[in-house]
Structures are given as C-alpha cells and as structure tokens.
Amino acid sequence: MSAWQRIDDSAGIPSGRSSGTRGAGIWSSGVQGSTVRTPGASSPAGLSRIPDEQDGQHATAVTPAGAGWLASASRYPRSALSLWESRPTAPTVLDCGSVFDVVNVPAIFGRRMLDTLWSEGPGSGPVAGHRGRMLLFAAPGTAQRLPSLLHWEEWGDAVPPLLCHGTGDAVTVPSPASSVPPSGPRWLVAPDTRHPWLPGPEVMLWACVRAARAAAAPAARAGGLSIFPRADQGAKVYDVSRRR
C-alpha cells in the first residue's frame, strides 16, 4: 500500500506519521518541502504563508495529510490517492461544497487579499494559482454568502468579478507534487494537515474590502476618487437655500 493510501480512518493521518513528516515512496522523491511560517507572526495551524518573490524558494508542497484532506472532497478518495500515486504531477478535479468552497479571483487582486490576510488578519486557507487567477479555499457555504455580503455592503462594483464555487461546482486543483509544469496549476499555500483552517464568508468579505481599498488608494491620492456617490444625471435639482 502506498504512502498516500495509508490514511488512518480515525485521524486522517498517514499511519505512524505526524502531519509534517515526510513519507516513503513518492513522498521522498516528488513531494517534499517544509512548511514556511510567517516570521514574527502566529499563523493558523497547518498553513504556510505565500512565499514572497525575494524568498528565493518555491511554495510548500502538499504533505500526505494534506493529500488526504484533498482526497476527502472526492467521491472516491482512495481512487484520488491512487491517481496521485501513479501520476504525481497530474491535476485533479474535485467537488466543492462539502469539504471546502473556492473563491476564484484575478491574480493581482488575490495577492492583495493574501497580503492582507497574512499581515493584518488570521491567515488564509490553502491557495492555488492557475492561468492568471487565484483559487482561495474557504469554508463550505462561503460561495453562497460572499456575493450577497459584498452587495449588501455596497462593495460589489469595487471588487473585480469573483467566481464563487460551492455546492454543485467542481474545480481543478494542482497535483501534490512539488515540481509541476510552469503553465499548469500550482500551490501557493499548500494544505499540510488533515483539517486545515478555512476562512468563512465574513473573513473573505473583510479581505475583499481591504484589497479594494488598497487598489483605490492611488487613485484617491491623485484626486481621481471621490468619497461621495455619483450624482444622478437625470435627477431634478431644487434650490432649498431660501425660505419663502
């Protein structure tokens, strides 16, 4: 039985290993890497920060426990683990809604969200990048509530188009391997525990608003942004400065 398939049913951790240890077989060849922590900051258990450009290192790879968590979103978890064992660089399509939801955002806006989550907030869940987009893994139910919260808070127009994947949707996730084709999906923040922390809709709303404000700040300093709403061009204006 492979290292990816020796998942303890009670704890979801590969037999005889903790969340952060390296397994045998394919783990010793294609899926390695230690968790990167944010210096001077406490981060949610089981999460690694997004690496900066100056770090000079690649993102953290998925651990056996993290692979078990991802596989639990599949209708056939053992089949998913077997696929990764035989094809370690192959991306996989997983269902959303039960184990996680995914908030799909443009890469630049997503980077602002991640910077905010890690520098001022509680951190993030697993994050993947693919084709100029970022996939932020969130708690189940986030995909349904986040758009409504953005609309309610009147930030819908200030936030780039979001694709929220929840119940009934599926997403392509990167392979657990540390070396993947440059054009393919890759992990920016890889899952490394069986139960990683996932942000809910309120946390994602907060990150979206902060990222939108950060994007609007240069325009505001240049005088191109007003704090007042746009006037209705078709509205009638009455002079109420004088009393009869």
Q: 54 near 142, Cβ under 8 Å?
A: no
Distance between CA 189 and CA 137 in Å, rounded? 10
pLDDT at 155: 76
Question: Percent of the chain, pLDDT > 70?
Answer: 63
pLDDT at 236: 54
Distance between CA 56 and CA 184 in Å, rounded? 20
pLDDT at 90: 85
Which whole number is the average pLDDT over 184-199?
Answer: 93
18 vs 90: which has the higher pLDDT: 90
Residue 25 region by backbone torsions, left for phi larger than 0, else alpha for psi between -120 and 50, else beta: left
pLDDT by residue (tens digit) across 45-74? 334 444 443 333 334 689 999 999 999 999
Tokens of 218: 């240069």
Q: 196 near 68, Cβ under 8 Å?
A: no
Distance between CA 116 and CA 101 in Å, rounded? 20
CA distances from 148 to 141, 201, 207 (A): 12, 10, 15
pLDDT at 218: 63
pLDDT at 166: 98
Distance between CA 138 and CA 146 in Å, rounded? 11
Q: Where are the alpha helices (DSSP H) in the chain?
A: 64-71, 77-86, 107-119, 142-152, 201-221
Tokens of 193: 């525990």
Reply yes or no on whether the pLDDT at 215 is more than 90.
no
Distance between CA 217 and CA 106 in Å, rounded? 18
pLDDT at 183: 75
